[in-house]
């Protein structure tokens, strides 16, 4: 680990001022940043501890709920407002990491976590455009079983790791950011960036900006939502494919639908093409499969991860079927 200085702040303006210094990073739970510092992928000269900021509340507000960025994953998952009005969010959090990590990790930090692609995390291995822009992407022809099949580019096929971010993208979450230029809001679906030619640019967060809260809007499809995660083992494992789904049903007719994929994309993948297929149709397996086929028609495997395309389709069909009460 490289040397760094450390400061603990107690107000958002203090945090922004300290975090705006060159090569500064914010730390909360530390479950991702410190890990990356130990393997020298991250080398901040200044570490700004934001745990004392008053950003851990979970509260009802006009039109939905607001979750402070420093609320711990376990607290959000167990909160009655989240369980009752946004069950997909609670389920996504409970299927993440381990109980110990969920007790430490913050909501804001979860959204900011970086890929677990081994070529990104191991400096002794071959090139990685995300870690060293312009050096190449070793995963494309290397060990890529866990990597993305949608949203990829010639420069990067690394999978985004967050479960929570998938549920927030599906349910139209809005992030509040605070930085040197003041406060602004960004839709969760726009926060994470596609790799394109610049995979080292992962999110719409300027240097010195801090996530302060996540707003989730109330909606019938949000209250009737769920999260399904398929993985190699039943705990402490990242998704091979996952789906956050929400349905507003009128009898057996789908009046509203929200879908997002995890485990298969370079960012939390909002499946708008699938949603368009679902709305106005009967909740049947054939309709669910048609929606999956349309969304993944441009998906591309890279050898070891070819299976993810069919797995993602089946994951969506099962998630929708379970939510619809066993569609025929």
Q: Indicate whether 185 and 198 sit together in one domain.
A: yes
Q: What pLDDT score was predicted for residue 158?
A: 98
Q: What pLDDT score was predicted for residue 327?
A: 56
Q: How far is the C-alpha of 190 from the C-alpha of 171, rounded, in Å?
A: 13
3-state secondary structure of 79: coil
Global confidence as pTM: 0.97
Please give the backbone phi and psi of residue 272, each rounded to the nearest 5 degrees, phi first.
-70, -35
- Pairing between β-strand 182-187 and β-strand 64-68 as defined by DSSP bridges: unpaired
Report the candidate in 213, 215, 211 with the shortest Cα–Cα distance to residue 179.
Answer: 211
CATH code, domain carrying 5? 3.30.43.10
Q: What pLDDT score was predicted for residue 328?
A: 53
Q: What pLDDT score was predicted for residue 9?
A: 98
Alpha helix (H) residue ranges in the chain? 12-19, 33-38, 73-78, 80-85, 87-94, 99-104, 107-112, 118-121, 164-170, 188-191, 220-223, 272-278, 285-295, 307-323
Q: 264 lies in which domain range?
A: 55-328
Q: What pLDDT score was predicted for residue 102?
A: 97
Q: Indicate whether 142 and 195 sit together in one domain.
A: yes
Please give the full DSSP string across 261-279, using - where no structure is assigned: EESSBSS-EE-HHHHHHHT
CATH code, domain carrying 182? 3.30.465.10
Total of domains in the chain: 2
Q: Indicate whether 122 and 245 sit together in one domain.
A: yes
Q: Indicate whether 32 and 120 sit together in one domain.
A: no
Q: Indicate whether 94 and 1 sit together in one domain.
A: no
Tally of CB atoms within 10 A around 27:
20
Q: What is the pLDDT along the chain (328 residues), one digit of tens a residue?
A: 889 999 999 999 999 999 999 999 999 998 999 999 999 999 999 999 999 999 999 999 999 999 999 999 999 999 999 999 999 999 999 999 999 999 999 999 999 999 999 999 988 768 999 999 999 999 999 999 999 999 999 999 999 999 999 999 999 999 999 999 999 999 999 999 999 999 999 999 999 999 999 999 999 999 999 999 999 999 999 999 999 999 999 999 999 999 999 999 999 999 999 999 999 999 999 999 999 999 999 999 999 999 999 999 999 999 999 999 975 5
3-state secondary structure of 252: coil
Q: How far is the C-alpha of 126 from the C-alpha of 110, rounded, in Å?
A: 27
């Amino acid at each position: 680990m490289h040397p760094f200085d450390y400061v603990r702040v107690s107000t958002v303006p203090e945090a922004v001022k300290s975090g705006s210094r060159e090569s500064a990073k914010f730390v909360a739970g530390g479950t991702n940043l410190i890990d990356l510092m130990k393997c020298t992928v991250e080398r901040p000269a200044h570490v700004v501890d934001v745990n004392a900021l008053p950003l851990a509340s979970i509260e009802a507000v006009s039109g939905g709920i607001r979750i402070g960025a420093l609320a711990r994953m376990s607290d959000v998952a167990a909160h009655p407002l989240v369980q009752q009005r946004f069950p997909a969010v609670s389920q996504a959090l409970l299927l993440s990491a381990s109980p110990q990590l969920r007790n430490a990790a913050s909501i804001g930090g979860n959204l900011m976590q970086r890929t677990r692609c081994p070529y990104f995390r191991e400096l002794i291995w071959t090139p990685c455009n995300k870690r060293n822009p312009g050096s190449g992407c070793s995963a494309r022809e290397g060990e890529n079983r866990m990597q993305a099949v949608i949203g990829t580019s010639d420069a990067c096929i690394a999978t985004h790791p967050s479960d929570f971010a998938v549920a927030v993208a599906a349910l139209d979450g809005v992030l509040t950011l605070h930085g040197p230029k003041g406060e602004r809001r960004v839709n969760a679906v726009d926060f994470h960036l596609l790799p394109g030619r610049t995979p080292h640019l992962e999110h719409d967060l300027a240097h010195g900006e801090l996530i302060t809260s996540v707003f989730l809007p109330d909606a019938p499809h949000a209250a009737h939502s769920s999260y399904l995660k398929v993985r190699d083992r039943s705990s402490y494992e990242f998704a091979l494919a996952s789906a956050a789904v929400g349905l507003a049903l009128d009898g057996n007719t789908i009046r509203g639908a929200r879908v997002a994929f995890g485990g298969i994309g370079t960012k939390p993948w909002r499946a708008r093409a699938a949603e368009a297929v679902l709305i106005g149709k009967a909740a049947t397996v054939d309709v669910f499969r048609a929606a999956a086929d349309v969304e993944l028609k441009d998906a591309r495997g890279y050898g070891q991860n070819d299976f993810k395309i069919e797995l993602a389709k089946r994951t969506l069909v099962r998630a929708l079927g379970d939510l619809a009460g066993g569609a025929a």
